[in-house]
Amino acid sequence: MSDELVFYTNPMSRGRIVRWMLEEVGAPYRTEAIGYGPAMHTPAYLAINPMGKVPAIVHAGTVLTETPAICAFLADAFPHAGLAPAPGSAARSAYYRWLFFAAGPLEAAVAEKAIGYTVPEDKRGMIGYGTLGKVLDTLETALDRRRHVAGDAFSAADVYLGSHLAWGMAFSTVEKRPVFETYVGPLMQRPAAVRAEELDDALVPPA
């Protein structure tokens, strides 16, 4: 079985988050860029991800999809990069908490805003996260005067959460609150983040 790591992506997708994560772990990988539409629904790619979407990775013959899962997996698969706190530690607890908070309440609330849908007031209790404002207030409190969301060290949770906040503020689905800007700014200047952006930008077709 080959140990090759293959990365399936589109430069205009959440694959940008995985690209950043791959650059952080420093493992060699091969990129397979896939266009939207028919290219993502060929039998060959549906065998990788039956959802017909990116990103996905294949590592040592094992397929993994879903961006937060890929980030968490890569952190564990390449421990030398130090991108996950020690199991059982308080930082590991925070790592899981905010990684999945970003993948759940934050992404759902931002998507709701992006498509212009508002959940009726009497149905708010059914969706768990309440409102986008409540989600952002919760994050603002968690990030106030903190460089990293899970303890004192940078982790995969910062890759995932930082990407969502940066993207949301750039496209006005997340308010540009000072706490968010202070948190995201240094993350986007990390060498791996810069390399990832350059690599993805090189894949974007000319206008």
The H or E element containing residue 8 is strand 5-9
pLDDT at 207: 65
What CATH number should be reported for the domain whose range is 90-190? 1.20.1050.10
pLDDT-wise least confident of 74-78, 119-123, 150-154: 119-123
pLDDT at 3: 79
Identity of the amino acid at 177? R
> What percent of the chain shows pLDDT beyond 90?
87
pLDDT at 188: 98
| Distance of alpha carbon 24 from alpha carbon 159, whole angstroms | 9
Q: Is the pLDDT of residue 206 over 80?
A: no
pLDDT at 13: 95
Domain regions of the chain by residue span:
5-82+193-203, 90-190
At 101-135, the pLDDT tens digits run: 999 999 999 999 889 888 888 888 888 888 899 99
Nearest partner of 102 among 183, 36, 195, judged by Cα:
183
pLDDT, averaged across the chain: 95
What CATH number should be reported for the domain whose range is 5-82+193-203? 3.40.30.10
| Distance of alpha carbon 111 from alpha carbon 34, whole angstroms | 23
Confidence category of residue 1, pLDDT binned at 50, 70, 90: very low
Q: How confident is the model over 56-64, as a mean pLDDT?
A: 95
CB 192 within 8 A of CB 19: no
The per-residue DSSP string of 99-113 comes to HHHIIIIIHHHHHHH
> What percent of the chain shows pLDDT beyond 70?
99
